[in-house]
Amino acid sequence: MNKGDDKFLIAVKDFIKSMVISLVLVILVTQFIARPVRVEGLSMYPSLNDKELGFSNILSMKMKDPERFDVLVLYLDSQKKHIVKRVIGLPGEVVEIRDEKLYIDGKEVEQPFLDTDYVREMTSTGKEFSRDFGPITVPEGEYFMLGDNRIRSSDSRDYGTFKREAIKSKDVFVFIPFNKIRTVGK
């Protein structure tokens, strides 16, 4: 072998080593620290929009339980996919939606993340933005989840409550499109 062959083999070896290290790092990060998220549909509008890309924090869900109004990434077993929804009801609470209002344990709860102009527009045309639902008691270890765009969301009203194990990560750091970089959470 000549010197040129040695340099080529060293370069190939270095390249393979770099690729293996990169692959291991990507796997570790996406399994234990941050989950990639691709938003599909308008169920979380205006908080999240269709086709936005981002990351969601896996680590925070391992350290503490979800709180009301947290934005979470859940695994929907029946459809074998991840979805993004907002925590509305906590374990043991009674959740009800009546006349476009949210009630927790019989008390009306404000929802500051909803786009009030959009809600008004939907309801003024005779559409129900938040169809009446419940009351239901959220089982222990489970959470009642809704999309922010209630009229276009399949959520706990359709799938039932979500077990703690279905929750994979919290908050979404949106980085695409670049002109809308932000963190969507509580």
Give catalytic status of residue 85 as yes or no. yes
Give catalytic status of residue 170 as yes or no. no
Cα–Cα distance, 131 to 148 (Å, whole number): 13
Tokens of 76: 């929907």
Active-site hit among 47, 56, 85, 156: 85
Cα–Cα distance, 57 to 81 (Å, whole number): 17
Cα–Cα distance, 100 to 120 (Å, whole number): 10
CA angle 83, 153, 35 (to 5 degrees): 15
Q: Cα–chain-centroid distance for residue 130?
A: 20
Q: What is the DSSP letter of 138?
A: P
Please return the burial class of 110, using the count of CB atoms within 10 Å of its CB with bins 0-12, 13-18 and 19+: exposed
Structural contact between residues 116 and 161, judged by C-beta atoms closer than 8 angstroms? no
User: Which residues are identified as catalytic?
Assistant: 43, 85
